[in-house]
Structure 1
Amino acid sequence: MKAVQISVRRLVEFVLRGGSIDSRMTSSDRALEGTKIHQLLQKSAGEEYQAEVSLKLDRTVDGVVFSLDGRADGIINEQTIDEIKTTETVMEEITEDFRPLHWAQLICYGFMFAEKSDLPEVTLQLTYYQVADEEIKQFRRIMSREEMGVFVDDLLSKYAVWAKMSAAWEMKRNKTIQELSFPYNSYRRGQRELSIAVYRTAVSGENLFCEAPTGIGKTMSTLFPAVKAMGEGKTDKIFYFTAKTITRQVAEDALDEMRRKGLAARSVTITAKDKICFLDERKCEPDHCQFARGYYDRLNEALFDLLGQEEAITRTVVEQYAREYTLCPFELSLDVALFCDAIVCDYNYLFDPVVYLKRFFSEGPGKYTFLVDEVHNLVDRARSMFSATLRKSLVMQVKRQLDKKLHKRLWNAVNAMNKVMVSLNKQLSEPGETIHVNKIGLTEWNESVLKFTFVAKEWLPQNTQSETQSDVLELYFESLRYVKIAELYDERYTTQITRTHSDLEIKQLCLDPAFLLSEKLKLGASSVLFSATLRPIDYYTNVLGGEEDTSRMVFSSPFEQQNMHLLVADNISTKYQMRDQSLASVVEALAALIAGKKGNYLFFFPSFQYLQNVYELFREKHPEIVARKQEGAMDEEQREAFLEAFKAGNLETLVGFCVLGGVFSEGIDLRGERLIGAAIVGVGLAQLNPESDLIKDYYNETIGQGFDYAYQLPGMNKVLQAVGRVIRGESDRGVILLIDERFSASRYRTLFPAHWNHAKIVKNTKEITEQVTEFWRNN
């Protein structure tokens, strides 16, 4: 059994945890509020104070060799170990036994230092810094090396049970990986080459950007080689990140397929907290939620049972054990993830600076392989994750509800925020007006938000029954995000102050997320970022944090080119100012497309309004055709009902009107006769808007490609994704119609994939009808 590496923090928190989940007591990560304070206290302590001292200890307990590591905040005069804790709790409530885990951590550091320096005893100093009042309280204990050693050995002994279980599992897993062969009888075209590239990336510890068109089998082509690399000790965990539930299901299926071929591997799928919560109203507080109350008291027993019984820990499995042991299902999925080989989850669990998985990524890089699927979605998601907004309406809502005398400190903090917003509002004369400033111009605002977070964190646990509590909590979490983003703010950001009819918004907008994404990717040993549509690949490599020398690969479609008949109607303009004029031409082109064969078709439009206009005229001109349209706010049940109508056995033609870039333009899988054609109206450009214009200006200034990066390339990706809905398998046949004069322009034709080079130009409805009739006659 190899040495078990574990940090002091994880050891203490795992062995000694107990009590309840309580969102009101959730501490921010140290980087958010503690680092600067630690540095300030360390600097003021004098020359005899050694700050941030790394400590290591190798120790054998119960037959397990442990390699324990940690970092003491300070060592004074070579004999006192100092541990600094920032807190918002009032000093009167902080006693020596305020947080037993703090002492446990300090005792570990003390023993490690005593062993290193051969000291018979050390002084342990626990320093609390009260943020809001800037007060310090210290507690000291003198402990012998022997006494501390007994304490540390007891912790390690309790953890040894889990370490032995994990080691036995790893041996079993690696043996099955070594015996595992590719789960299918043969590779598809391009699949072997992709698998080899992913394997080399995982083994070499590098990054790879890859366009792998539909049909290659990209999920298995990335997971299988990553698993093989794990069996060789090149990676400890595989993270499969994706934006959509359906893609997570595909990843689960691929892992199950390998298990059917003999693989022993634990995987967990992490479902969003709001989706998996058992309660109608999510409130993570022990007096409100039975699954939060006493959570940590029951957790380890549940984990031991779960890990002994299950390998594929899906949402259903998580919910089953969570109900059996009365545990929060979301937190259970996070806790079991520590013992899993593969973790399937959303992008935000790595990339979001607030909700990322701190248990994996807060202590620096790990031996992880990151597989990032459908990565074309990550550009907009990243900008959103690295941005933050605060609204005056929420600030005022909290202020109005607070009793000024009863909650004076909190009222003052909220009032300070509101005063700055009132001042900014006066600079905007008209609703809809926006001004842009850099962070430096909002120093007073940022300081007021930070001050509020300190005061609110102290107020929340003391006022659990207050009617204002939920609103204060909402403002607190939004303010925490704002403060965190302010720490990331640099020349790749701008701040928007926007006045609406009834509100004022202050938004820190991330224009270029590449650097921040790059830093996040460094938390793993290797990364593969892939999608069916990733062109031009240099653009995606640039905006998603790649370097000039980052490897990139583009694969051809594995399907026969002649299976998809691609037509370009470049006689019609769908530019915004021409849409009314060309409306009738668009309708007749759509009718011509479906004239060749009865079946199911999808029509895609750049906006809901344009969709509605075409839909109404189409229904008027062709009432005999069954038509359905995407609505603005469809829940999951409505979406499923919409897709359910696209049956393979439909006797009459069915057309679906959908929005380009929406839920039906990517991620859906209508195979065979369920979908035999699609039309894409327009080149996918987003409507001109202030944020996209800011992004355009930024990239114009930095690389001279503003319009491309802000409008054209994101729009064309929507087109590529929509076209990809039609041919989903080797036996599929279908027709595609691209409607817009710009599709013939070189700046768009150069973005066509190689398997589109047979596209035919059609100049009128007669030619469209002739082309589709001929295609279906031969197919």
Structure 2
Amino acid sequence: MPFTQLLRMDVLVFSNRQLVEFFGKSLSLICGALTWLREHKSKSIESQLKEDGEDDGAPDWVKQFARDEKKQNLLQEKADMEARLADIREKEKREKQLANSSSNLKIKRRYIAVWLTGEQKGEIEVEVDGNGDEAQFCLEDYESGDEDGGAQGSLGGDALSPAIFYCSRTHSQLTQFINELRRVKFPPSSPGGEGSALEEEVKHLSLGSRKNLCINPKVTKLGNPTAINERCLELQRSGASEASRCEFLPGRDDQVAVRDFRDHTLAKIRDIEDLASLGRKMGICPYYASRPTIKPSEIVTLPYPLLLQKSAREALDLSLKGHIVIVDEAHNLINAISSIYSITVSLAQLQRSKSQLDIYLARFKNRLKGKNKVYVMQTLRIIASLASYLEEISKKSKEGVIAPGDLLAMQGIDQVNFYKLQTYLNESKLARKVEGYIVHKQAKEQEKNKLPNKPGGAKALQPTASIPVLTHIQGFLLALTNPSAEGKLFHGKTEDKNDTCLRYMLLDPAHHFQEIVEEARAVILAGGTMEPMNDYTNHLFPYLPKEKIRTLSCGHVIPKENLTALPVTKGPGGREFEFTFEKRMQPAMIEELGRAIVNLCQVIPHGVVCFFPSYAYLEFVVSQWRKKPTPASNTAAKSLWERLEDRKTVFRESSDGSSVEEVLREYAQAIDSGKGGLLLSVVGGKMSEGINFNDNLGRGIIMVGLPFPNSNTAEWRAKLEHAEKAAGREFYENACMRAVNQSIGRAIRHREDYAVIALFDRRYSTDRIASKLPKWIQNGLVRGPVDKVFGEVMVITSRFFKTRDAL
């Protein structure tokens, strides 16, 4: 199907391992999209020139002359721009050559000095007037007539100037894509005729958050993204003196500098770090200065949150109207949307916020007037009510679902207009005022007493994080305004199990993605392993007619003989493998698993990566394998762990992810040494995404069981109920199999690569589960006697590698 036709669709769900022999997924996407973009622009210009003057009654030669003149002016304008960008590229090239000379040391020292100054990361900076007046913490008069706010303008292009918005999960993944973008050249968008040979570089922009692009060291030291955002807004508030405003923020008189930044940005393809460095070099904020660069850009790269969160798009004045949206790594999309719009607030946070508001009101209550007093008291009443409700319900049960009406009915807070309250909290900056006053009050007490804080005093109210706690609670209150059909409220324990909490979980991602789909010209979802795909059509696009959605799945570039996939249903002793939640802790089955892996490590050369359903299960299995065999009198017998270490050097992925790079480095060294390595990893962990076990790093992939989520939790019960009873099982299995497919897809990364994939669980031999594997793995799936006898697994695996060695 031609790419031009695909871009006329509303949504394209695009799953592949590699599209063609020489191009990977990223290059295939960008070559097709940018080629279409240039051709579309060229045809649009020609069409516009042809239409101009057709109905004005002038002679044909006059109309033709006008069209030629307009075309020439357009070509000259484009040529001038390309020449200007070429000059910038040449200048930067010379500067790079002279980087070690003294010509630029002065400005470099200046910025290095700025970056090395400042206090410890994570503290809240509170500016206090020289006379110590507390008036700075008092709220300004608030008029509710401004509550509805106003629509912000956009920087989107028109129908003749579409752009491509390329989105992925992280900036590191975007950087990989940008490196691919630097490799290719594209035809110019100029129409044919004179000037058509004009070289036109790709105009690219990396968008990021303030955390990625802020160059003010007083702000970046806060560390927390929300704290950085709020501090940035504080430094540009209206009425502030020049001394208290951010020195890097471009003002109305800085348009020349902004255009210069735009031209430097477009002159070459830069990633997010390059853009921040450019801002520091030019002394201008890249976060704000990059906004005017959106419109002339041909391709804009940005991480998930900036695209998927409506508030983030509005903050960037980002319009998608008429543009192409490409979402890469889209197997994460549904979970990413749910995560962005879900939020948890703990009892400790509610209690701390209430204490802070009490202290704030004790000082400023008599100075608050009108709407200020009304809204602050409403906020305090809501927080107190939520804390009281959580205390009571947590005594009755450990976790459960909460009806929104039950939560809001206490103390009459269901009468509060949450939309108006949200507007007030955003515009008044109440959270920052309260937090700032608490820090200020504590500092004055310390200075007065010349002593550390006493137990139970102001120290108990000191912020423990750089984000105001009320700001976090605001996000939770905003979630309460969502339609009840879209999500559910839960009570339970925090992740560290040390506190009780209220949790809002988004169940229906369709609404939040629908605005993107309806606004964009076309949406392309792309992923290396997106099967099973029916969740996207059923749960992400239920409102779209089937003809508006096209799915395209491409096979792998490897020949069929380079892959063997084996459902391993029994171990060497004939014990059946069924790693269900009820059976997986059985010592006999865990021992059988260890013996099977020992045997496979004998015939699989180099590196073997073994994936477990969870960190907890991996730890339990390892503890079982370390036990010495019985009887105890047989002191010479080795444990399964020792037998594994005899075969290969064994490595484990840690739950905190802190040693990933070190583990991978040592794993590769063990393989290079000739002994080989066995890497024990976890589905959904650091090793299961974004890391390639190509060539000798992954000659064997072992999947232990099916990593089904715990369906007995309140959250998963709600998810399954939301998916409806008929589709609940399908939804549950699909979530599991996408995780499996993503993990086993870490192997075989190019045409010459090869591997054996062993799937340990009898359920992999069933048609229902096997059909949810990617087609390229299904094509290499060996069925028959191998499902029943472990000896057949050994024979087929040994033969596979002997055949490879013979080639």
TM norm structure 2 = 0.66
Question: Which among 431, 436, 441 is matched to residue 402 of structure 2?
Answer: 436
Match of 1:682 in 2: 705
1:156-555 alignment runs, 5 A limit: 196=2, 198-202=3-7, 204=8, 206-214=10-18, 216=20, 217-231=24-38, 232-233=40-41, 236-259=162-185, 264-275=201-212, 277=214, 279-282=220-223, 283=228, 285=231, 292-297=246-251, 300-309=255-264, 310-334=267-291, 336-361=293-318, 366-402=321-357, 403=359, 404-408=361-365, 409=373, 412-425=377-390, 426-430=392-396, 432-438=398-404, 442=408, 445=413, 447=416, 451=421, 454=424, 457-458=427-428, 459=430, 465-468=436-439, 474-498=468-492, 503-545=499-541, 547=544, 548-549=546-547, 550-555=549-554
Higher relative contact order (CA 8 A, sep 6+): 2
Amino acid in the other structure paired with 1:340? S
Q: Deviations over 1:547-595 (max 9, x none)?
A: 2222222222222121012111112111122223210111122222221
Question: Which among 794, 797, 805 is matched to residue 769 of structure 1?
Answer: 794
Match of 2:661 in 1: 640
How far the C-alpha of 1:435 sits from its partner, in A, is 3.2
CA shift in 2, pair 1:483/1:350, >3 Å: farther
How far the C-alpha of 1:421 sits from its partner, in A, is 1.6
Q: Percent identity?
A: 17
Amino acid in the other structure paired with 1:230? L
1:417, 1:449 within 8 Å by CA — same for their partners in 2? no
How far the C-alpha of 1:494 sits from its partner, in A, is 2.0
How far the C-alpha of 1:769 sits from its partner, in A, is 2.6
Which region of structure 1 is more displaced relative to structure 2, 488-497 or 366-375? 488-497
Are 1:746 and 2:743 matched, yes or no?
no
CA shift in 2, pair 1:215/1:281, >3 Å: same
Q: How many residues align?
A: 576
How far the C-alpha of 1:496 sits from its partner, in A, is 2.0
How far the C-alpha of 1:521 sits from its partner, in A, is 1.9
Q: Deviations over 1:489-545 (max 9, x none)?
A: 242322223367764433332212123312222221111112122223222222222
Which region of structure 1 is more displaced relative to structure 2, 755-764 or 456-465? 456-465
CA shift in 2, pair 1:534/1:472, >3 Å: closer
1:603, 1:678 within 8 Å by CA — same for their partners in 2? yes
Match of 1:568 in 2: 567
1:376, 1:540 within 8 Å by CA — same for their partners in 2? no
Say which SS state the counterpart of residue 239 (structure 1) adopts.
strand
Amino acid in the other structure paired with 2:562? N
2:326, 2:523 within 8 Å by CA — same for their partners in 1? yes
1:552-701 alignment runs, 5 A limit: 552-571=551-570, 572-581=577-586, 582-616=589-623, 617=625, 618-624=640-646, 625-635=648-658, 638-647=659-668, 649-688=672-711, 689-701=713-725
Amino acid in the other structure paired with 1:354? S
1:401, 1:468 within 8 Å by CA — same for their partners in 2? no
How far the C-alpha of 1:359 sits from its partner, in A, is 3.8
1:416, 1:448 within 8 Å by CA — same for their partners in 2? no
How far the C-alpha of 1:272 sits from its partner, in A, is 4.5
Q: Deviations over 1:578-623 (max 9, x none)?
A: 2232101111222222211431111101110111223341524423
How far the C-alpha of 1:751 sits from its partner, in A, is 1.5
Say which SS state the counterpart of residue 725 (structure 1) adopts.
coil
CA shift in 2, pair 1:230/1:749, >3 Å: same
Amino acid in the other structure paired with 1:308? D
CA shift in 2, pair 1:463/1:206, >3 Å: closer
Amino acid in the other structure paired with 2:299? A
Match of 2:633 in 1: none
How far the C-alpha of 1:762 sits from its partner, in A, is 4.6
Amino acid in the other structure paired with 2:260? D
Say which SS state the counterpart of residue 778 (structure 1) adopts.
helix
Say which SS state the counterpart of residue 224 (structure 1) adopts.
helix
Q: Deviations over 1:146-181 (max 9, x none)?
A: xxxxxxxxxxxxxxxxxxxxxxxxxxxxxxxxxxxx
Structure 1, gaps ≥5 residues long: 1-192
How far the C-alpha of 1:328 sits from its partner, in A, is 4.0
Q: In the aligned structure 1, how far is the partner of 2:279 from the partner of 2:245? A: 8
2:206, 2:272 within 8 Å by CA — same for their partners in 1? yes
Q: Deviations over 1:76-127 (max 9, x none)?
A: xxxxxxxxxxxxxxxxxxxxxxxxxxxxxxxxxxxxxxxxxxxxxxxxxxxx
1:598, 1:651 within 8 Å by CA — same for their partners in 2? no
Which region of structure 1 is more displaced relative to structure 2, 214-223 or 558-567? 214-223
Say which SS state the counterpart of residue 640 (structure 1) adopts.
helix
CA shift in 2, pair 1:257/1:455, >3 Å: closer
Q: Deviations over 1:22-49 (max 9, x none)?
A: xxxxxxxxxxxxxxxxxxxxxxxxxxxx
Amino acid in the other structure paired with 2:552? M
CA shift in 2, pair 1:337/1:639, >3 Å: farther
CA shift in 2, pair 1:385/1:762, >3 Å: same
1:211, 1:555 within 8 Å by CA — same for their partners in 2? yes
Q: In the aligned structure 1, how far is the partner of 2:287 from the partner of 2:666? A: 34
Q: Deviations over 1:361-395 (max 9, x none)?
A: 46xx5121000111110111111223233333222
CA shift in 2, pair 1:367/1:439, >3 Å: farther
Amino acid in the other structure paired with 2:775? A
Amino acid in the other structure paired with 2:17? P
2:6, 2:12 within 8 Å by CA — same for their partners in 1? yes
Q: Deviations over 1:404-444 (max 9, x none)?
A: 32143486344312332244232443452323214686365
How far the C-alpha of 1:680 sits from its partner, in A, is 0.6
Q: In the aligned structure 2, how far is the partner of 1:584 from the partner of 1:556? A: 37
1:714-753 alignment runs, 5 A limit: 714-753=735-774
1:59-208 alignment runs, 5 A limit: 196=2, 198-202=3-7, 204=8, 206-208=10-12
2:431, 2:469 within 8 Å by CA — same for their partners in 1? no
Amino acid in the other structure paired with 1:199? T
Cα RMSD between the aligned structures?
3.1
Q: Deviations over 1:176-223 (max 9, x none)?
A: xxxxxxxxxxxxxxxxx5xx2x43222x25321122124642212222
Amino acid in the other structure paired with 1:201? L
2:13, 2:524 within 8 Å by CA — same for their partners in 1? yes
2:611, 2:683 within 8 Å by CA — same for their partners in 1? yes
CA shift in 2, pair 1:452/1:445, >3 Å: farther
Higher share in strand: 1
CA shift in 2, pair 1:456/1:394, >3 Å: farther
2:402, 2:489 within 8 Å by CA — same for their partners in 1? yes
Q: Deviations over 1:668-706 (max 9, x none)?
A: 1232223211101112211232211111011125xx111
CA shift in 2, pair 1:334/1:246, >3 Å: same
TM norm structure 1 = 0.68
2:19, 2:556 within 8 Å by CA — same for their partners in 1? yes
Q: In the aligned structure 2, how far is the partner of 1:532 from the partner of 1:288? A: 43
